[in-house]
Amino acid sequence: MITQVTATRLIDAPLRRVYDQWTQFEEFPRFMSAVKSIHQIDDTHTRWDVEIAGAERTFDAVITHQVPDQKIAWASVEEPAHTGEVLFESEDGGTRVTLLMSWAPEGIVEQAGAMLNLDERAAERDLDRFADFIAERGAATGAWRGEVANGEPEADVLPEKAEGVDPDIRL
């Protein structure tokens, strides 16, 4: 059984700040309830430690596609299957963030949670916490302005176009 989750939130912050903050994967535990830690291995690889319904798991993921201020997509490297993407759009002076995920729940507790749409509600609450995190900080904790295609980094935005943000910052 594959579960699909969609969550969207209009965040009262500029597109660039919202996107830049989302590239700081190691900050995810500050606003994503199931994420215990993320280790950024390199520009396209991460190791996630999560806890879902009391079940702890670790998995590696690869960023498969990334376009600054538009999209970040990822996929787990091994089982269990987990894919997703987050889309960013300017809207009404803020930024619409849309999170789309597909994953294979394991065990009866995860499957029941998926059937009751608990995953989708958790994703919506995570986006609410992300919006609060952005509002409290007033600035992104860092940024990575590179592009990724087919899991391979292509190029960073030239420093003179980075508007005062070092394109290689990854905190």
The CA distance from 63 to 45, in Å, is 6
Q: What is the pLDDT of residues 4-28, one digit of tens each?
A: 889 999 999 999 999 999 999 999 9
158 part of a folded domain: no
Give the long-range contacts of residues 122-127, CB within 8 A, separation 24 or more.
122/33, 122/34, 123/5, 123/6, 123/7, 123/99, 124/7, 124/9, 125/33, 126/7, 126/31, 126/32, 126/33, 126/99, 127/7, 127/8, 127/9, 127/11, 127/97, 127/99
Looking at the structure of the chain, the number of domains it has is: 1
Nearest 5°: phi and psi at 150? 55, 35
147 part of a folded domain: yes
**CATH number, domain at 139?**
3.30.530.20
Q: What is the pLDDT of residues 90-147, one digit of tens each?
A: 999 999 999 999 877 776 766 666 666 667 888 999 999 999 999 998 888 888 888 8
171 part of a folded domain: no
Q: What is the pLDDT of residues 62-95, one digit of tens each?
A: 999 999 999 999 999 987 678 899 999 999 999 9
In the prediction, which pLDDT does 120 show? Answer: 81
164 part of a folded domain: no
In the prediction, which pLDDT does 116 show? Answer: 61
Enclosing domain of residue 34: 3-152
57 part of a folded domain: yes
166 part of a folded domain: no
Give the helix/strand (H/E) hosting 109: helix 107-115
168 part of a folded domain: no
109 part of a folded domain: yes
